[in-house]
Amino acid sequence: MRRVRPQLPPPQASSPRHFASLRAAGHTPGPTVGEAYTVTYHASLCARRPGCGRARQDRRNTVARQILLAALLLTVGAAPGGAAGEGAGPASWQNDLAPIAAGEWDRQKAAHLLERAGFGGTPAEVEHLAGMTPAAAVEWLVDYQRQPDTLGSFDASPIWDPGMDPFPKSRAEAVRIGREQGEAMGVAVLPEGESRRLQPVVNKFFYGLRANAIETQRLATWWGERMLATTRPLEEKLTLFWHGHFATGNTKVRDTRMMLQQNEMLRANANGSFEDLLMGILTDPAMLVYLDNGENVKDHPNENFGRELLELFSLGVGNYTEQDIREGARAFTGWTNDVLAFEFDAEQHDFGEKTFLGQTGPFDGGDIIRIILEQPAAAEFVSGKLYRYFVREELAESVRTELAATLRDADYGLKPLLTKIFLSRDFYSPPSYATQIKSPAHLVVSTYRKLGLTELPTIPDFNRLVAGLGQTLFNPPNVAGWAGGRTWVTPATLLQRGNLFRDVLYPDTDGFWAPDRVVPGIYRQVEERLARGMNITAATQQGDAESSRLVDRDEDYNTRYGGYMGYLMAFEKLHPIPRRVADLDMVRLLSDAGVAESGAVVDHLIRRFLRVELSGADRAVLVDFLRDELGSDRIESDTPQTEAALRALLYLILSTPEYQLA
């Protein structure tokens, strides 16, 4: 197939805002998407992307018809329902925790297991599991430490300069420190008589904010790459679960190093001991900062930490009292951090007696964890939450009791519980099969895995894809994490999910701006004005600065200019996210599968991507569409036009309500 490799336009070529003033000041910014990377793209696919200036009228008509067909497919049924796929077991399997027998095991159940215990996979990966016994397949997934971890560690940018720890909580605090000490965050204020003496401090504060926020995007992209490329799918799926269970947001933590450290701790203990996970998260610097436990001292205990421990992490509402929260908080006084290390401050710890969940003693945090895990409610809460994440929302009392007993009998080891869940007939019963709405991260990553991609596409941007659907990695909405389930999908977001894959299949390389390399929002205007020679005051004034006769005022600092400079300083130190489109060749994918006739092509893609069978009428629409696009009843040649037709078909399949279900 003929391919073209167009060089993306450098930002300054089509947009003078990007780095204009930085270049004018004699600085050379780091590589941008246009300057550092080339992409592989099918020239003919531009015609399928609405808005492309080179599109022919017949291609525009095709796109319009494609969108109309997708809308029709999406709105039949309005939203994902609960129809089980043909691969489910009989209705009698519901709530039956007995293990599935080898004779009951088949390819569809293997696909279901891989979808739920990971992020789906290619037909070859599904067949690999289907060729095992169910016990061996579950063991392969659960005991994943037997598989080598060949993925690289995160390549951190050198953004943390000497003097930046501890980072001020606010601009006002940074300014106060600068005024009192003559420096802050490793930079000195300007000498007496200079205008804007505190500007270097304010610039550095915003640099810290911007660099940390963008580095978090890099961290999330790295994690997305792990989800895609891992040979241990359950490891990453569990890490994502624990990230939501022990929700921590970097918007408040403001330290990507802490978030990476927490992510690695969750991964290291993901299928191990819940007790170790609980101790790990309660001594985790990111969580200690997120829940303000540095402010939890013996004379003024802060109940935030103790409340979330009981309500969200271990017991659940109704299994403790307000007195237990207060007494538990006292046990964690003095638990704080020295940047990236846990620290116990004995001077701030309350060594007095506490009465907690009916027991009395001079308890510390370790004692509180022990007492919590002695409560029957703890095992029920943890096992129930894992069940709802992997199986379904409805949890029968008999199932709850048996799963909790499994967890307690294993001293809170997670592998026996996970094995029991994934082997159970209940896991493959009609209410559990193809009834779970995919999270945004699952939706995106599983699509890439089923396409057989080995590298994470970053055009369109991975973070913007998942965040646009409601899931920003490393920034859950609150300490309760993501609600999940039906909250992921509304009639509006269902259409948005369908449009998501237009950007993947027809990536807009001409109009793409890497979000980790572009000054956003109001700062673009500041950049343009500075590039035209305006002074700082005029450039940062709201409204029409060009008509302003203002001169540079004598002021301690200019906040908006500091916000702008923070981006430029960050861009100089941050490693850019490599940009690439999906390495996708639909003709080759279908040739490797041995299908060419239109009906067989449609059936293969349905089987590859969907856990729920389409209706006969919907299948017929897809077959007719492909025939019209190909101009024949089969794939006759390997041309860009054939590739475009197959991508159009795939787009329609990925736009169906059925594809939202795992």
pLDDT value of residue 64 = 43
Q: What is the pLDDT of residues 384-437, one digit of tens each?
A: 999 999 999 999 999 999 999 999 999 999 999 999 999 999 999 999 999 999
Does residue 396 fall inside a structural domain?
Answer: yes
Does residue 418 fall inside a structural domain?
Answer: yes
Residue 393 structural domain: 377-428
Does residue 149 fall inside a structural domain?
Answer: no
When pLDDT is cut at 50, 70 and 90, the band that residue 120 belongs to is very high
Q: What is the pLDDT of residues 255-276, one digit of tens each?
A: 999 999 999 999 999 999 999 9
Whether the per-residue pLDDT at 40 is higher than 60: the answer is no
Which residues contact residue 654 at a Cβ distance below 8 angstroms, ignoring those fewer than 6 apart? 447, 498, 501, 609
The DSSP 8-state label assigned to residue 334 in this structure reads: T
pLDDT value of residue 81 = 43
pLDDT value of residue 499 = 85
Whether the per-residue pLDDT at 20 is higher than 80: the answer is no
pLDDT value of residue 274 = 99
Nearest alpha-carbon partner for 84 in 53, 108, 51, 104 = 108
CA atoms within 13 Å, Cβ hemisphere of 307: 10
Give the CA distances from residue 79 to residues 64, 180, 337, in Å, rounded to whole numbers and listed in that order. 22, 59, 46
> What whole-number percentage of the chain has pLDDT above 90?
82
Q: What is the pLDDT of residues 1-18, one digit of tens each?
A: 333 322 222 332 223 233
Q: How far apart are CA 617 and CA 629, in angstroms?
A: 19
pLDDT value of residue 493 = 79
Contact 112, 428 (CB under 8 A): yes
Angle at 643 between CA 639 and CA 646, to 5 degrees: 140
pLDDT value of residue 76 = 41
Q: How far apart are CA 491 and CA 3, in angstroms?
A: 38
Q: What is the pLDDT of residues 193-218, one digit of tens each?
A: 999 999 999 999 999 999 999 999 99
pLDDT value of residue 496 = 85
Q: For every residue of 384-439, which 3-state class applies, written as one string?
A: HHHHHHHCCCCCCHHHHHHHHHHHHHCCCEHHHHHHHHHHEHHHHCCCCCCCCECC
Q: What is the pLDDT of residues 314-344, one digit of tens each?
A: 999 999 999 999 999 999 999 999 999 999 9
Does residue 415 fall inside a structural domain?
Answer: yes
Domain tally, the chain? 1
When pLDDT is cut at 50, 70 and 90, the band that residue 250 belongs to is very high
Torsion angles phi and psi, residue 184, rounded to 5:
-160, 140
Does residue 310 fall inside a structural domain?
Answer: no
Whether the per-residue pLDDT at 295 is higher than 50: the answer is yes
Whether the per-residue pLDDT at 596 is higher than 60: the answer is yes
When pLDDT is cut at 50, 70 and 90, the band that residue 491 belongs to is confident
pLDDT value of residue 33 = 31
Instruction: Write the Ramachandran bin of 226: left for phi over 0, alpha for psi from -120 to 50, otherwise beta.
Output: alpha
pLDDT value of residue 70 = 54
Whether the per-residue pLDDT at 375 is higher than 80: the answer is yes
Contact 74, 495 (CB under 8 A): yes
Does residue 24 fall inside a structural domain?
Answer: no
pLDDT value of residue 544 = 55
- What is the value of pTM for the model shown? 0.89
Does residue 257 fall inside a structural domain?
Answer: no
Which residues contact residue 616 at a Cβ distance below 8 angstroms, ignoring those fewer than 6 apart? none
Does residue 404 fall inside a structural domain?
Answer: yes
Q: What is the pLDDT of residues 61-112, one digit of tens each?
A: 444 455 455 555 554 443 344 445 679 999 999 999 999 999 999 999 999 9
The strand pair at 187-188 and 335-338 is best described as unpaired
